[in-house]
Amino acid sequence: MKKLLLAAAISAMCVTAFAAGKDLKVAIDATYEPFTYKTPDGKPTGFDVDIASAICEEIKRTCVFVEQPWDGMIPGLMAKKYDVIISSMSITAERLKQVDFTDKYYNTPSRVVLKKDVKYSGPESIKGKKIGVLKASTQEKYALGELKTKGVEIVSYDAQDQVYLDIKAGRLDGTVADILEVGGGFLSKPGGEAYELKGDELHIPKYFGTGAGVALRKGQGELKGQISAAIKTIRANGKYKAINDKYFTFDVYGK
């Protein structure tokens, strides 16, 4: 009996060790600089990637990054192509109907972006303009709900960097984007210097939610708890700040 109990205990320890050390497949959209993008040699990098790696270190898992176009993120998660999404996905009531989220790991606002010489006093002031947005994003929801109803033409794209290419080519008048992403991915790049952020910061919860969290399939309570705890840990031990300060000049965790 003692031998059987010992064997069972050893077996359980091995299973636990294996579970703790197994891969965690993390979905990213690598077209969202400075949150998720690629180095010149094709390696995924950015704030989201570094946060994901820090979380994996805390929960003793190995991050394996899986690239996924944005509008297929949630369908891919539901199809079990990966375990989680760590790619600036905002926690919204609409998404919570399909998937679960951990605690937030950052929260930054969006704004309208137009040429500097365009006078902007609200959606009505850009009636007839053509605005590009990322398909299935919170910015698209806002644009369709608040801009299109005022006569603004909305064009949806599979990737945010495609929006910027068409702005530079003169096919779009502007975009609605996260202030940090558009700063790093467009305004600070050649061709972006003629554009600027317009209007107030956009925090409307029904469109933009309550911050970016890690998305999981429903029913993964244990993993959700581990990741939320890991977020709190890296906030407390300085790892979050080190990652934050690598990309930004202020704390993007937000309120």
Residues 68 and 182 in one domain: no
Does residue 56 lie within any of the structural domains? Answer: yes
pLDDT at 88: 98
Q: Cis (ω within 30 of 0) for the bond into 34?
A: yes
Smallest Cα–Cα separation from 166: which of 192, 136, 135? Answer: 192
How are beta strands 37-38 and 44-45 bridged, if at all? antiparallel
Total count of residues recorded for the chain: 255
Q: What is the pTM of this model?
A: 0.88
DSSP of 12-55, one letter per residue? HHHHHHHHHHSEEEEEE-TTBTTTBEE-TTS-EESHHHHHHHHH
Same domain, residue pair 15 and 135: no
Lowest mean pLDDT among 5-14, 81-90, 148-157: 5-14
* 139 falls within a domain: yes
* Distance of alpha carbon 77 from the chain centroid: 14
Share of the chain above pLDDT 90, in %: 91
Mean pLDDT for the chain? 93
**Reported confidence tier of residue 9, pLDDT bands at 50, 70, 90:** very low
Same domain, 90 and 34: yes
- Please check whether residue 254 lies inside any domain of the structure: no
Instruction: Output the domain CATH number for residue 140.
Output: 3.40.190.10
Claim to verify: residue 78 and residue 203 sit in the same structural domain: no
255 assigned to some structural domain: no
- Domain membership of residue 7 (yes or no) is yes
- Pairing between strand 100-106 and 212-216? antiparallel
Residue for token pair 């495609």: 162
Q: Are residues 13 and 103 in the same domain?
A: yes
Cβ pair 208, 89 in contact under 8 A: no
Same domain, 149 and 204: yes
Do 149 and 189 lie in one domain? The reply is: yes
3 band by pLDDT with thresholds 50, 70 and 90: very low
* 202 and 224, same domain (yes or no): no
Beta bridge partners of 85: 27, 215
Q: Is the pLDDT of residue 12 over 60?
A: no
Q: Is 217 among the domain residues? A: yes
Do 103 and 214 lie in one domain? The reply is: yes
The dihedral region occupied by 104, where left means phi > 0, alpha psi between -120 and 50, and beta the remainder, is beta
How sure is the predictor about 21, in pLDDT bands with cuts at 50, 70 and 90?
low
Find out whether 73 and 138 touch, Cβ atoms under 8 Å.
no
The answer on 98 and 6 residing in a single domain is yes
Contact 144, 151 (CB under 8 A): no
Full domain range(s) for residue 163: 110-208
| Whole-angstrom Cα Rg for the chain | 20
Instruction: Determine contact, residues 68/82, Cβ cutoff 8 Å.
Output: yes
| pLDDT reading at 38 higher than 60 | yes
pLDDT of residue 144: 98
Q: Are 46 and 37 in contact (CB under 8 A)?
A: yes
Q: What is the pLDDT of residues 140-177, one digit of tens each?
A: 999 999 999 999 999 999 999 999 999 999 999 999 99
Asked if residue 220 lies in contact with residue 45, where contact means CB atoms within 8 angstroms, the answer is no
- Higher per-residue confidence, 4 vs 75: 75
Mean pLDDT to the nearest integer, 77-87? 98
Number of separate domains in the chain? 2
- Is residue 252 one of the residues assigned to a domain? no
| Closest to 89 measured CA to CA, from 40, 76, 80 | 76
Residue 157 sits in the same domain as residue 214: no
pLDDT in tens, 162-215: 999 999 999 999 999 999 999 999 999 999 999 999 999 999 999 999 999 999
pLDDT at residue 255 in the model: 79
pLDDT in tens, 88-132: 999 999 999 999 999 999 999 999 999 999 999 999 999 999 999
Q: Is residue 253 part of a domain?
A: no
Q: For the range 51-56, what are the long-range contacts, defined as Cβ-Cβ under 8 Å and sequence gap of 24 or more?
A: 51/86, 51/105, 51/106, 51/234, 51/240, 51/243, 52/26, 52/28, 52/86, 54/230, 54/234, 54/239, 54/240, 54/243, 55/86, 55/214, 55/227, 55/230, 55/231, 55/234, 56/24, 56/26
Q: Are residues 96 and 147 in the same domain?
A: no
